[in-house]
C-alpha cells in the first residue's frame, strides 16, 4: 500500500518535473532559437486572428445580457493588446535575429502567453453567469477550441504551448467539473484527456522540429566546410585557382574607377628540385614559397596558388603608378631568390612574373589573366626572375604571333625555310672552328620572319619537330661540303628533346647524312633542360653516345644550379651576348665573364662567347684567355655559299686542337 503511494508520488513528481522543464525557453542551442523565432513569427498572424475572431464571436451574444465593460470593453482592450503584439511581430518578420535576441523575444512571448491565457479564461468564465445554457455551452466551446487552436499555432514554441495548455485547460477542467452539470463534467473529462494527448503531441512534434533544425545546421556546417575546402589549396592553405578566379571576377566588377592588377609567378628551377630531391622537398618548398609571398602581401593583395609551381597575386586598387607595381613584383621576386632552408636540403629557385592591369590593357577578368600569363611568358624568355608588365607592345606581338601561326600552319617548310651559318672562331688564329646553323624563313605572305618570332610559334603549335627535321637536313647537307674539321652547331628546342621519338628521328637524320656525329654540337638552352630534367638528360646522353657535343646555350640568362649542370654530360657552354656588350668598359660584365670562363675551365667544358661585335670586346676577351668567340665582329650569319667562301678566306683550325675530348661511337662501343 505504502509502496504504491510512494510510486504514485514518484510518478506525479516526474510528471511535474517534466512539465516545468518544458515551461522555459532553452538558451543552449542558438540554431534552434533562430529557427523557432522564424517559424513562430510566420504563425503569429494566424494565432492572433483565431484569438480575436473567437473572442468577438463569444462576446457578441453577451452584449445584450452582460455589462458593457465585460462584453465590449474587455474584448476591445484584448484586441488592442493583440494588435500591438501583432504589429511588433510583423515588424520583426524579416529580422535575422541573433540567438540572444531570439531568446529574449521568445521568453517575452512565453510571459505574454501566460498573461493572455489567464486573461482570456478569466474573461470567458466571467461571462458564464450572464448566459443561458447555450451561452454557457458557447463559453465552454470558446475556451476549449481557442485553447487548442493557440496550442497548435505554438507547437514550435513548446514552452508557450505548455503554458497555454496548462492555464486554459486546467481552468476549464476545474471550473466545468465543479459546475454541477453532467454534460459539462463530461466535457471537462474529455478536455483533460485531449489536453494530455495534445501536450504529448506537442512534445513529440517539437522533438522532431529540433532534430530537423539540428540536422539542417549540421548540413550547413558541412557545406560551409566543403565550400572552404573547395576554395583553398590544401598544400599551402592559400586560395586555390577557383577562388582566385572568383575573387578576380569580383575585384574587376567592383573596381569602379580603380585599377586591378594580376601578377602570375612561375618558379624557375622548381622541376629539377622535385626530380632530384623528391616530392616531399618539392611540397615543402611550395609551402615556404607561399609563406614568403603571403608575408609580403599588403592588405589589398591576395596571394593564390594556381597549381604546380604557379602562384598568383591579385592587387585590388593598385594605384596609378606602374613603377610601384613593378617594384612590388621585384620585392616578391627578390624574396624568392633567397635560399630555402628545408629540413631535407637547402635549395634555391627564382620566380619569373608577369603583370597586367585592368582596365588599362584588359577588358575583363579573363583577358586580365591571359595577358598576365603572356607577360609571364615574356619574363621567362627575356627577363627571368623579374617582373614584366604587359604593354601595348605585347598586344602587337600577340597579333603578330597569331598571324605567324596562321601562315606557318600552311607553309611549305622545305621550300620556305633556309639555314644561314655564323662562324665560331678561334681567337688565337682568327680561324673557323665551326658554324652555328640559324633558321631563316622567307614567307611568300609575310616576307622575312626572324627566328625569334616563328620558333616560339612553331613550338606552341606543335610544328617544331617537323621544322627541326627540315632545318637539320639542310644544315647537314651544307656541313657535308665543308672540310672534315669544321664543326656544325645546331639549335634544338625543348620539344626536340622531350620525347624519345623526337630524339630517334634526329639520330636517324644524322646517321643518314654521312656527316660524322663528332662534328656536331647540339645547342640547348637551360629552359629546355629545366622543362623535364630527366628526359632532357636521357636525350642528351643518347646524342653523347653517338659522339655529338652538347652546348648549353645562352648561359647566364636563366636559372642554373651548378649541381644540375654537373649532372649533365655537357661539352660546352655558350655565354650569352648580354654579358659581352661593352665588357671592356663595364667591370661587372668583365668579372662575370671572367668567372664563367674559370668555371667552364674547372668543369672541363669548352666555352664560346657569343655576340662579340667590336675589336675592344675581342681584345678584352683575349686578355681573359677566351679561345672561342662568335659574333658580328667576325661575321654575321651568312648563307651556305658564303660560309663556304668564308672558310677558304679565313682558314680552318682543327677542331680537335680546341675542344675537350669527346667520346666517339668507336670509343663507346664494347
Ligand atoms: P641563339 O641560338 O642565341 O643564336 C644567336 C643569335 O645571336 C642569332 O640570332 C644570331 O644572329 C645573333 N647574333 C650573333 N652574333 C651577334 C652579334 O654580334 N650581335 C648581336 N646582336 N646578335 C648576334 P638569330 O639568328 O636571330 O636567332 C635568334 C634565336 O632563334 C637563336 O638564338 C635561337 O634561339 C633561335 N633559333 C635560330 N635558329 C634556330 C633553329 O634552327 N632551331 C631552333 N630551335 N632555334 C633557332
Ligand atoms: Ca644558339
Ligand atoms: Ca645563344
* Model confidence pLDDT, tens digit, residues 465-479: 999 999 999 999 999
* Distance from the alpha carbon of residue 452 to the mean position of ligand 1, in angstroms: 8
Tell me which residue of 354, 384, 435 sits closest to 653, measured CA to CA.
435
Best probe residue, ligand 1, of 423, 438, 449, 454 (max atoms within 8 Å of C-beta): 438
Name 575's bridge partners: 555, 609
- C-alpha 665/C-alpha 668 separation (Å) is 5
Domain with residue 414: its CATH number is: 3.20.20.450
Same domain, 68 and 203: yes
Q: Which of these three, 190, 222, 254, is where a domain ends?
A: 222
Same domain, 69 and 33: yes
Best probe residue, ligand 1, of 434, 478, 491 (max atoms within 8 Å of C-beta): 491
What's the whole-number mean pLDDT along residues 146-174? 85
Q: Counting every residue, how long is the chain?
A: 670
CA-angle at 621, arms to 561 and 423, nearest 5° = 85
Q: What is the pLDDT of residue 528?
A: 73
What's the whole-number mean pLDDT along residues 11-24? 68
Helix residue ranges, H only, 301-441 = 322-337, 365-382, 392-409, 413-416
Same domain, 215 and 249: no
With a 6 A CB cut-off, is 471 part of the ligand 1 pocket?
yes
Provide the domain count of the chain.
Answer: 3
Q: To the nearest whole percent, how much of the chain has pLDDT over 70?
A: 93
Q: Which of 178-187, 254-263, 568-577 has the lowest mean pLDDT?
A: 178-187
- C-alpha 579/C-alpha 609 separation (Å) is 9
Name 521's bridge partners: 489, 549
Q: 551 and 630 in contact (C-beta within 8 Å)?
A: no
Same domain, 380 and 446: no
pLDDT tens column, 620-634: 999 999 999 999 999
Same domain, 170 and 299: no
Q: What is the pLDDT of residue 563?
A: 58
Residues with CB under 5 Å of ion ligand 2 are: 491, 523, 553
Same domain, 377 and 425: no
With a 6 A CB cut-off, is 438 part of the ligand 1 pocket?
yes
Domain holding 486, by residue range, is: 402-657
Name 263's bridge partners: 313, 355
206 Rama sector, left if φ>0, alpha if ψ -120 to 50, beta otherwise = alpha
With a 6 A CB cut-off, is 455 part of the ligand 1 pocket?
yes
Q: Whose CA is nearest to atom 17 of ligand 1?
A: 611
With a 6 A CB cut-off, is 491 part of the ligand 1 pocket?
yes
pLDDT band for position 545 (cuts 50, 70, 90): very high
Q: Is pLDDT above 90 for 88?
A: no
Ligand 1 closest atom vs CA 451 = 30
Q: What is the pLDDT of residue 650?
A: 57
* Distance from the alpha carbon of residue 436 to the mean position of ligand 2, in angstroms: 7
Same domain, 375 and 345: yes
Q: Is residue 234 part of a domain?
A: no
Q: Is residue 662 part of a domain?
A: no
Same domain, 427 and 384: no
- C-alpha 360/C-alpha 368 separation (Å) is 10
Q: Is residue 432 part of a domain?
A: yes
- C-alpha 120/C-alpha 653 separation (Å) is 120
Q: Whose CA is nearest to atom 25 of ligand 1?
A: 438
Q: What is the pLDDT of residue 664?
A: 31
pLDDT band for position 667 (cuts 50, 70, 90): very low
Measured from the alpha carbon of residue 492, the closest ligand is: 1
Q: What is the pLDDT of residue 269?
A: 85
Domain with residue 330: its CATH number is: 3.30.70.270
What's the whole-number mean pLDDT along residues 401-417? 96
Contacts of 113 (CB under 8 A, 6+ apart): 150, 154, 160, 163, 164
Bond into 470 cis (ω within 30) = no
Q: For the chain, give the mean pLDDT.
A: 88
**What is the SS3 assignment for 315?**
strand
Q: Is residue 232 part of a domain?
A: no
Q: Is residue 666 part of a domain?
A: no
pTM: 0.63
Q: Is pLDDT above 60 for 13?
A: yes
Q: 598 and 615 in contact (C-beta within 8 Å)?
A: no
Residue 312 host element (H or E): strand 310-316
- C-alpha 219/C-alpha 226 separation (Å) is 10
- C-alpha 649/C-alpha 629 separation (Å) is 18
Measured from the alpha carbon of residue 528, the closest ligand is: 1
Q: Is pLDDT above 80 for 656?
A: no
Q: Is pLDDT above 60 for 651?
A: no
Ligand 1 closest atom vs CA 610 = 15
Chain Cα centroid distance, residue 195: 60
With a 6 A CB cut-off, is 554 part of the ligand 1 pocket?
yes
Q: What is the pLDDT of residue 564?
A: 61
Q: What is the pLDDT of residue 289?
A: 97
Q: Is pLDDT above 90 for 494?
A: no
Q: Which of these three, 189, 222, 255, is where a domain ends?
A: 222
pLDDT band for position 312 (cuts 50, 70, 90): very high
pLDDT band for position 653 (cuts 50, 70, 90): very low
Tell me which residue of 110, 111, 113, 178 sits closest to 140, measured CA to CA.
178
Q: What is the pLDDT of residue 125?
A: 92
pLDDT band for position 535 (cuts 50, 70, 90): confident
- C-alpha 537/C-alpha 524 separation (Å) is 11
pLDDT band for position 654 (cuts 50, 70, 90): very low
**What is the SS3 assignment for 580?**
coil
Q: What is the pLDDT of residue 113?
A: 85
Q: Is pLDDT above 80 for 23?
A: no
* Distance from the alpha carbon of residue 432 to the mean position of ligand 3, in angstroms: 18
Tell me which residue of 57, 60, 56 sits closest to 75, measured CA to CA.
56
The more confidently predicted of residues 542 and 586 is: 542
449 Rama sector, left if φ>0, alpha if ψ -120 to 50, beta otherwise = beta
Residue 192 host element (H or E): helix 182-231
With a 6 A CB cut-off, is 532 part of the ligand 1 pocket?
no
- C-alpha 37/C-alpha 44 separation (Å) is 10
Q: Is residue 586 part of a domain?
A: yes
With a 6 A CB cut-off, is 529 part of the ligand 1 pocket?
no
With a 6 A CB cut-off, is 493 part of the ligand 1 pocket?
yes
With a 6 A CB cut-off, is 213 part of the ligand 1 pocket?
no
Cα distance from N-terminal residue to C-terminal residue, the chain:
112
Q: Is pLDDT above 50 for 665?
A: no
In terms of Cβ atoms closer than 10 Å to its own Cβ (0-12, 13-18, 19+), residue 204 is: exposed
With a 6 A CB cut-off, is 349 part of the ligand 1 pocket?
no
Measured from the alpha carbon of residue 637, the closest ligand is: 1
With a 6 A CB cut-off, is 285 part of the ligand 1 pocket?
no
pLDDT band for position 605 (cuts 50, 70, 90): very high
Residues with CB under 5 Å of ion ligand 3 are: 553-554, 610
pLDDT band for position 2 (cuts 50, 70, 90): low
Q: What is the pLDDT of residue 1?
A: 57
Ligand 1 closest atom vs CA 475 = 41
Q: Which of these three, 193, 222, 251, is where a domain ends?
A: 222
What's the whole-number mean pLDDT along residues 571-575? 93
Same domain, 198 and 307: no
Q: 273 and 281 in contact (C-beta within 8 Å)?
A: yes
Q: Is pLDDT above 80 for 353?
A: yes
pLDDT band for position 560 (cuts 50, 70, 90): low
Q: Is residue 665 part of a domain?
A: no
* Distance from the alpha carbon of residue 610 to the mean position of ligand 3, in angstroms: 6
Same domain, 43 and 184: yes
Q: Is pLDDT above 90 for 73?
A: yes
* Distance from the alpha carbon of residue 202 to the mean position of ligand 3, in angstroms: 86
What's the whole-number mean pLDDT along residues 79-96? 81
Q: To the nearest whole percent, how much of the chain has pLDDT over 90?
A: 52
Q: What is the pLDDT of residue 638?
A: 96
What's the whole-number mean pLDDT along residues 203-212? 86
* Distance from the alpha carbon of residue 437 to the mean position of ligand 1, in angstroms: 9
Q: Whose CA is nearest to atom 8 of ligand 1?
A: 438
Same domain, 216 and 261: no
Q: Is pLDDT above 50 for 661?
A: no
Ligand 1 closest atom vs CA 464 = 44
With a 6 A CB cut-off, is 578 part of the ligand 1 pocket?
no
Q: 59 and 83 in contact (C-beta within 8 Å)?
A: no
Same domain, 245 and 136: no
Q: Is pLDDT above 90 for 572?
A: yes
- C-alpha 466/C-alpha 405 separation (Å) is 15
Q: What is the pLDDT of residue 655?
A: 37
Please list the active-site residues.
309
Q: Which of 109-118, 137-146, 616-625 has the highest mean pLDDT?
A: 616-625
* Distance from the alpha carbon of residue 669 to the mean position of ligand 2, in angstroms: 30
With a 6 A CB cut-off, is 611 part of the ligand 1 pocket?
yes
Q: Whose CA is nearest to atom 32 of ligand 1?
A: 452
Q: 241 and 314 in contact (C-beta within 8 Å)?
A: no
Q: Is pLDDT above 70 for 15?
A: no
The more confidently predicted of residues 42 and 277 is: 277
Q: Is residue 669 part of a domain?
A: no
What's the whole-number mean pLDDT along residues 531-551? 90
Amino acid at each position: 500500500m505504502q509502496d504504491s503511494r510512494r510510486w504514485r508520488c514518484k510518478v506525479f513528481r516526474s510528471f511535474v518535473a517534466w512539465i516545468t522543464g518544458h515551461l522555459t525557453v532553452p538558451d543552449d542551442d542558438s540554431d534552434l532559437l533562430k529557427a523557432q523565432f522564424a517559424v513562430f513569427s510566420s504563425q503569429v498572424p494566424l494565432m492572433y486572428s483565431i484569438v480575436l475572431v473567437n473572442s468577438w464571436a463569444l462576446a457578441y451574444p453577451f452584449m445584450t445580457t452582460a455589462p458593457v465593460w465585460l462584453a465590449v470593453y474587455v474584448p476591445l482592450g484584448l484586441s488592442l493588446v493583440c494588435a500591438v503584439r501583432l504589429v511588433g511581430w510583423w515588424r520583426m518578420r524579416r529580422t535575422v535575429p541573433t540567438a540572444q535576441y531570439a531568446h529574449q523575444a521568445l521568453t517575452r512571448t512565453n510571459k505574454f502567453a501566460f498573461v493572455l491565457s489567464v486573461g482570456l479564461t478569466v474573461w470567458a468564465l466571467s461571462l458564464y453567469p450572464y448566459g443561458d445554457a447555450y451561452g454557457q455551452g458557447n463559453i465552454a466551446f470558446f475556451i476549449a477550441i481557442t485553447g487548442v487552436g493557440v496550442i497548435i499555432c505554438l507547437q514550435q514554441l513548446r514552452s508557450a504551448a505548455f503554458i497555454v495548455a496548462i492555464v486554459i485547460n486546467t481552468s476549464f477542467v476545474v471550473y466545468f467539473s465543479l459546475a454541477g452539470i453532467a454534460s459539462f463534467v463530461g466535457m471537462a473529462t474529455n478536455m483533460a484527456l485531449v489536453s494530455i494527448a495534445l501536450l504529448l503531441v506537442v512534445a513529440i512534434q517539437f522533438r522532431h522540429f529540433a532534430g530537423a533544425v539540428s540536422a539542417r545546421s549540421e548540413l550547413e556546417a558541412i557545406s560551409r566546410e566543403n565550400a572552404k575546402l573547395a576554395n583553398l589549396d590544401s598544400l599551402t592553405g592559400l586560395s586555390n585557382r577557383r577562388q582566385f578566379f572568383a575573387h578576380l571576377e569580383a575585384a574587376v566588377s567592383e573596381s569602379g574607377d580603380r585599377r586591378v592588377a594580376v601578377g602570375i609567378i612561375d618558379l624557375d628551377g622548381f622541376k629539377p628540385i622535385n626530380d632530384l630531391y623528391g616530392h616531399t622537398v618539392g611540397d615543402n618548398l611550395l609551402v615556404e614559397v607561399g609563406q614568403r609571398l603571403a608575408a609580403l602581401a599588403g592588405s589589398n593583395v591576395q596571394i593564390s596558388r594556381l597549381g604546380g609551381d604557379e602562384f598568383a597575386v591579385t592587387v585590388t586598387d593598385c594605384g596609378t603608378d606602374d613603377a610601384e607595381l613593378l617594384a612590388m613584383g621585384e620585392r616578391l621576386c627578390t624574396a624568392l631568390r633567397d635560399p630555402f632552408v628545408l629540413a631535407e636540403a637547402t635549395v634555391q629557385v627564382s620566380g619569373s612574373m608577369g603583370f597586367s592591369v585592368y582596365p588599362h590593357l584588359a577588358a575583363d577578368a579573363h583577358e586580365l589573366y591571359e595577358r598576365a600569363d603572356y607577360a609571364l611568358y615574356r619574363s621567362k624568355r627575356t627577363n627571368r626572375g623579374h617582373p614584366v608588365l604587359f604593354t601595348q607592345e605585347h598586344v602587337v606581338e600577340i597579333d603578330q604571333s597569331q598571324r605567324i601561326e596562321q601562315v606557318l600552319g600552311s607553309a611549305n617548310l622545305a621550300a620556305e625555310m633556309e639555314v644561314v651559318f655564323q662562324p665560331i672562331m678561334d681567337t688565337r688564329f682568327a680561324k673557323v672552328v665551326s658554324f652555328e646553323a640559324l633558321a631563316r624563313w622567307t614567307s611568300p605572305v609575310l616576307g622575312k620572319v626572324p627566328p625569334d618570332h616563328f620558333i616560339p610559334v612553331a613550338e606552341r603549335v606543335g610544328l617544331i619537330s617537323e621544322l627541326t627535321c627540315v632545318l637539320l637536313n639542310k644544315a647537314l647537307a651544307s656541313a657535308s661540303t665543308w672540310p672534315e674539321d669544321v664543326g656544325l652547331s645546331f639549335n634544338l628546342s625543348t620539344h626536340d628533346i622531350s620525347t624519345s621519338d623526337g630524339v630517334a628521328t634526329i639520330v636517324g637524320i644524322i646517321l643518314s647524312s654521312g656527316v660524322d656525329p663528332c662534328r656536331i654540337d647540339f645547342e640547348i638552352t637551360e629552359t629546355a633542360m629545366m622543362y623535364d630534367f630527366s628526359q632532357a638528360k636521357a636525350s642528351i646522353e643518347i646524342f653523347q653516345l653517338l659522339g655529338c657535343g652538347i652546348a648549353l646555350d645562352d648561359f647566364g640568362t636563366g636559372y642554373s644550379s651548378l649541381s644540375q649542370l654537373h649532372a649533365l654530360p655537357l661539352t660546352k657552354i655558350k655565354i650569352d651576348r648580354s654579358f659581352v656588350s661593352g665588357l671592356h668598359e663595364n667591370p661587372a660584365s668583365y668579372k662575370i665573364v671572367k668567372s664563367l670562363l674559370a668555371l667552364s675551365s674547372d668543369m672541363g667544358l669548352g666555352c664560346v662567347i657569343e655576340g662579340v661585335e667590336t675589336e675592344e670586346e675581342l681584345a678584352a676577351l683575349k686578355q681573359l684567355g677566351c679561345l672561342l668567340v662568335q659574333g658580328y665582329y667576325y661575321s654575321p650569319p651568312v648563307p651556305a655559299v658564303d660560309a663556304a667562301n668564308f672558310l677558304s678566306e679565313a682558314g680552318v683550325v682543327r677542331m680537335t686542337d680546341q675542344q675537350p675530348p669527346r667520346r666517339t661511337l668507336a670509343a663507346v662501343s664494347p
